[in-house]
Amino acid sequence: MKKIWTIAWKDFRTYFTSPIAYIVIAGFLIIMGWMFFFNLSHFNLQSMQYKQYGMGGKGTSITEGIIRPLYGNMNVIFLFLVPFITMRLFAEEKKMQTIQLLMTSPVTLGEIVLGKFLSAFLLVLTMLTLTMVYPIILFVFGNPDLGPLFTSYLGTLLLSGCYLGMGVLFSSMTENQIVAGALTFAAGLFFWLINWASQSVGQTFGEILDYLSLIQHYNNFSQGILETSDVLFYCSFIGVSLFLTHRVLDSYRWR
């Protein structure tokens, strides 16, 4: 575990030696800040209208009016940003011809893969931590439900982990960072939209497509429901992605 953490921490610090981390974090916070302000303003306007017309408690709750759309949009943003985070992990090593040194270092291939994944995961976790200001504002000026907030963060973290897993995999397959990023985005979008065809392929295949859809498993999290099956799906998706990365690198070592 110490070797995994050493690799992860080294790569995590590398993000901040280039403009990548600063650009990604700044873009993420600007977009999320605008969305939070827009959702909050729209919610306040709706609440005032409900009170004006004497509808009292029939208005939209904070969970429905702010939390669900805010973190739903956050998942879309991560779909676009994660490829920029993961595209360099192995592709840069190959391009700089340092992959041979890494492969022959006194660490196992599994430790290398987990370390690289963890470094990107830490960056996403940092970005999510910076958004904790939104729940704080909601608790100061309102009374949001704690359950949906917690599950929304957990679901977003797990869903982002799936994006990261795909990003690590495609970065291990090429030395071109742009190709790795494009493939990561395309794969993420595919698994996001895969259930769109579920209505036209029959019940059995439709259920399979629904199950493979990344966003389908997030729905329960956004409603404050923590289902073990959804957590296991995301963890399995990440595990399969990292296993395939291991096999790709193992085949590269024996070429």
Cα–Cα distance, 71 to 32 (Å, whole number): 9
Residues 6+ apart with CB under 8 A from 183: 170, 173, 174
Residues 6+ apart with CB under 8 A from 65: 39, 42, 43, 46
Res 131: pLDDT: 92
Q: What is the mean pLDDT of each run of 10 residues along the chain (255 residues)?
A: 86 87 92 89 74 59 81 92 91 78 80 92 94 88 84 94 95 90 93 77 76 88 89 95 91 68
Res 254: pLDDT: 63
